[in-house]
A and B are shown apart, each in its own frame.
Chain A
């Protein structure tokens, strides 16, 4: 039973991170119908920022939760600035172009950012400090769930709650929903869609950065390539749940996390990707619009 629970919480942790990154894919897709392939790199840049900041703070003699919080905040700000700039440089000039053009631009941006970090930093794996301390009250459960995992799961849950409130009740949240439903009509009621699009990129990047910091301090090492792999997985999660749908991204992330975790725990870690992608293929065969995605009705 303990073994099952350990795998369950491990899967939930993994799934939370996938969900955080998948939200960025799904929100951008909802508004622009664009797969932002550079999104994984934003997550990677978030992790690198946190590494640089926490190293600097550690040299200054600070430790504990303060370092974690400061590093996370700066990572969020820095990654958001990147997300905002990527949209302005790579996607905005192509707003009127055929849909394939911004897609290629996104892939280019992804390759560019990877190589930029490769050149500016290093190609080697860098050790990432365990920023999240071990809580003593978690000790009795340590064989099932670690402190870091607990922090990842609860932080993600809190962020999802805040995001839901933001989307449902704030002015910008409502503008985002309206723009996702009908962009031209949103313009006709006076919504500045450039602002909405920029806000979406900033918000998605912030979530990815949080994911980056959390997972890096869980796994303990990063390099320039982590964004690509995490990006592919999170994109899979978004498609699994139904791309464009916010609850879908969360559900897709969790389902993917559990699939991988149980495949690793009960079969073999060699097969985790096989199970994850086989599951995606099955979902796409029987529910092409994803787990909770709506069927799009083509009006004649």
Chain B
């Protein structure tokens, strides 16, 4: 469904991604884990076209998308929940959701999807007329995910959805991620520092270090990989 082939991305002269290869099939949940500054966010921004790759190719549904502008990529069916939520802080909850459906014209479908996200996160329904900036961190994350879902994406990119949230909220968010995947049929590409949580929900995973993919495999395999355990799971096994 999504294929990154030898993607290299730069900020000015600084190389952030040095030839990344990732393949995602329809219906999967894929985790991308790695340390701070490894290039995880850049990978997502390259897919979304905000920081277009300097070389390499990105295919979505078999067609190249690396030369498209961000709004065209959204129109193809890729939505992103960026790091730090980035909700429109001066718009109401409902206006934020409307912005998520910006490219859609089917009014009845939009209304139905709004009811759907309200059923996923009932607290948003209670707060639908409240200004976005007044929500708590967890509520903002729920709103950010809901806003992305309003575009009815085929592929949902999630950047650090657990960052800075209480454990109970993190659990809820991950439950919803699984639900979106199983019930709505959306493919999910999840970037996380919380490697343990991410690999438990994902089918497969990639480990990124210094702008390159160093390890890949099924979640089961990665959870038991000694290097992954040491570097990202905080488990040190006696040798």
Chain A CB within 8 A of B48 CB: yes
Roughly how many angstroms separate A191 CA and B101 CA in the complex, as a whole number? 10
Chain A facing B: main interface SS: helix
Roughly how many angstroms separate A181 CA and B80 CA in the complex, as a whole number? 17
Roughly how many angstroms separate A178 CA and B48 CA in the complex, as a whole number? 18
Report the minimum CB–CB distance from A159 to chain B (whole Å): 23
Per-residue B-contact encoding for A174-213, CB less than 8 Å = 1, 0 else: 1101100110111111111100000000000000000000
Q: Which residue of B lies closest to A179 (CB)?
A: B88
Number of interface residues of A (CB under 8 A): 17
Roughly how many angstroms separate A188 CA and B80 CA in the complex, as a whole number? 7
Stretch from B18-26, B90-98, B118-126 forming part of the interface with A: B90-98
Most chain A CB inside 10 Å of its own CB: which residue of B75, B99, B151: B99
Taking a contact as CB atoms under 8 Å apart, the answer to whether A192 and B69 are in contact is yes
Chain A CB within 8 A of B74 CB: yes
Chain A CB within 8 A of B89 CB: yes
Taking a contact as CB atoms under 8 Å apart, the answer to whether A185 and B82 are in contact is yes
Per-residue A-contact encoding for B76-114, CB less than 8 Å = 1, 0 else: 000110100011111100010011101100000000000
Q: A174-B98, A184-B50, A185-B82 are in contact. Are A190 and B90 (CB under 8 A)?
A: no
Contacts of B89 in A (CB 8 A): 181
Q: A174-B95, A174-B99, A178-B99 are in contact. Are A189 and B74 (CB under 8 A)?
A: yes
Taking a contact as CB atoms under 8 Å apart, the answer to whether A185 and B88 are in contact is yes
Q: Which residue of B lies closest to A185 (CB)?
A: B86
Contacts of A191 in B (CB 8 A): 71, 99, 102
Contacts of B98 in A (CB 8 A): 174
Q: Give B residues with C-beta under 8 Å from A.
A: 48-50, 69-71, 74-75, 79-80, 82, 86-91, 95, 98-100, 102-103, 147, 151
Q: Give A residues with C-beta under 8 Å from B.
A: 171, 174-175, 177-178, 181-182, 184-193
